[in-house]
Amino acid sequence: MSPQDSASSPACADEAPSGLVSGGRRSVLCSAAASAVGALLMLPRPASAQALPGVSATEIRIGNTTSLSGPVSALGTIARAQAAFFKMVNDQGGVAGRKITFLFYDDGFNPAKTAEMARKLIEQDEVALLFGNLGTGPNSAIVKYVNQLGVPHLFLSVNGDKWTDYKNNPWSMPFAPSGRVECQVAIKHMQQTKPDAKFAILYQNDDFGRDYVAGAKDVLGARYDSLVKAISYEVTEATLDSTLIQLLANPVDALISGVTGKFGAMSIRKASEAGFKGNHYIATGVSSVQGVLIPAGADRATGVLSTVYAKDPSDPGLVDDPGIKGYKAFMAKWFPEGNPDDFYNAYGYMTAMVMTRVLQQCNGDFSRRSIMAQANNLKDLENPILLPGIRLNTSPTDHRPLKQMQMQRFDGKRWVRFGPIFEGSNV
């Protein structure tokens, strides 16, 4: 289906995750986003507006921008899975007697294009809300615009704790846990066995990487300076060797790598070569077995730790899990062209289910204020793709839907989850 096809017909279907978008591309595109924002805010508002934009007696229109082309086009499958879920909801009667029309446009991961497509969705298509928009750079290009208009901008597939800023952007909300939460959980896990553990933090010199430093400060407080050595790197660097040598020059109990892309394999390889024997925690965005751990060397990566909040549909150990069985049955019937083992499709299924729950909680009042109020009113919400014990919670002053994670360890072939569910710190 082309982007134009998806935009002209009712929904044909029902993060990065933290880690859904690489930090290197984000750094380049955010500068373009800034100029796009400026241009977008100069645009005139619609001459007239409906009392209930995007809502009629039979329909609720939802908008989305994503990457069906460009450098991260593989992530476009998220929107297709979401569209499939909404089609299933429609065929089962919709929400409050209304069918969901899900309009998603391709922005090619280009912030300027995102600005253009968001304007079309809001001012021409008159959608009730934006849902699941992909990418930090693209969303940065529209966040001020949608918040000035009061358009719900929900469950974004982005990285970065900045998206939880309910004071400046009260209409925006991410979905997956940020690097800040990941680091909080890693430190709490390490402190279980060694309360006075010393940490080395390798972090990317941008908002994504600085979230890891913030997470460490959240947990350690006044002890941060005495227990942590943190050094940043630039995405333009060819190697991390000298940085890791500096970080590991003095004994530390844990290394936390707040990195993206190729730097995941680099950090694993160099830490192993340096003989580091402590706990090595890596960002969820670089936890791909095929994309990161195998290139780093399975022997070097064995024992590496990461955090996780959702089930992996490709995990053979979950073949009989009721949630995964339900998801795969959905894929077979409603999105047969999609790969059921692709986590991005499971992520689309999960987020569309949460969005549907928000609409159901509106009890027929689909004004933008009502939709946002219910997005701010998720209480211990379970989801079949979330790990057992992990629930979604939001409020008007809490735009971090997911703050719980579990640890996992790479055994040389696959990730193995273990231990309790850890709760991130309140900030």
Q: Report the predicted TM-score, pTM, of the whole model to 2 decimal places.
A: 0.86
- What pLDDT, on a 0 to 100 scale, did the predictor assign at position 261? 86
- What pLDDT, on a 0 to 100 scale, did the predictor assign at position 198? 98
Average pLDDT over residues 10-24: 38
- What pLDDT, on a 0 to 100 scale, did the predictor assign at position 349? 98
Give the CA diameter of the chain: 67
Residue with structure tokens 């017909």?
9
Whether the per-residue pLDDT at 6 is higher than 90: the answer is no
- What pLDDT, on a 0 to 100 scale, did the predictor assign at position 341? 94
Measure CA 231 to chain center.
25
User: How far is Cα 122 from Cα 117, in angstroms, rounded to an integer?
Assistant: 9
**What does the pLDDT look like over 153-169, one tens digit per residue?**
999 999 889 999 999 99
Average pLDDT, the chain: 89
Give the three-class secondary structure for 246: helix
Residue type for 50, please?
Answer: Q
Of 26-35, 57-66, 150-159, 279-288, which range is least confident?
A: 26-35
**What does the pLDDT look like over 253-310, one tens digit per residue?**
999 999 988 999 999 999 999 999 999 999 998 998 988 999 999 999 999 999 999 9
Q: Which residue has the higher pLDDT, 405 or 23?
A: 405
CATH architecture for residues 1-177+315-396: 3-Layer(aba) Sandwich (3.40)
Give the three-class secondary structure for 224: helix
DSSP state of 376: T
Average pLDDT over residues 164-182: 97
For residue 59 the two structure tokens come to 């329909």
**What does the pLDDT look like over 192-234, one tens digit per residue?**
999 999 999 999 999 999 999 999 999 999 999 999 999 999 9
For residue 40, the number of C-alpha atoms closer than 13 Å in the C-beta half-sphere is 30
Measure CA 35 to chain center.
24
For residue 185, the number of C-alpha atoms closer than 13 Å in the C-beta half-sphere is 28
Average pLDDT over residues 4-22: 37
Query: Which pLDDT band, with edges at 50, 70 and 90, does 86 fall under?
Result: very high
Give CATH 3.40.50.2300 domain extents, the chain: 1-177+315-396, 179-308
Whether the per-residue pLDDT at 137 is higher than 50: the answer is yes
Q: How many residues does the chain have?
A: 427
Whether the per-residue pLDDT at 27 is higher than 50: the answer is no
Whether the per-residue pLDDT at 17 is higher than 90: the answer is no
Overall fold of domain 179-308: Rossmann fold (3.40.50)
Query: Which pLDDT band, with edges at 50, 70 and 90, does 240 fall under?
Result: very high
For residue 154 the two structure tokens come to 């929900």
**What does the pLDDT look like over 348-394, one tens digit per residue?**
999 999 999 999 999 999 999 999 999 999 999 999 999 999 999 99
Sheet holding 153-156, edge to edge: 99-106, 59-66, 129-131, 153-156, 172-174
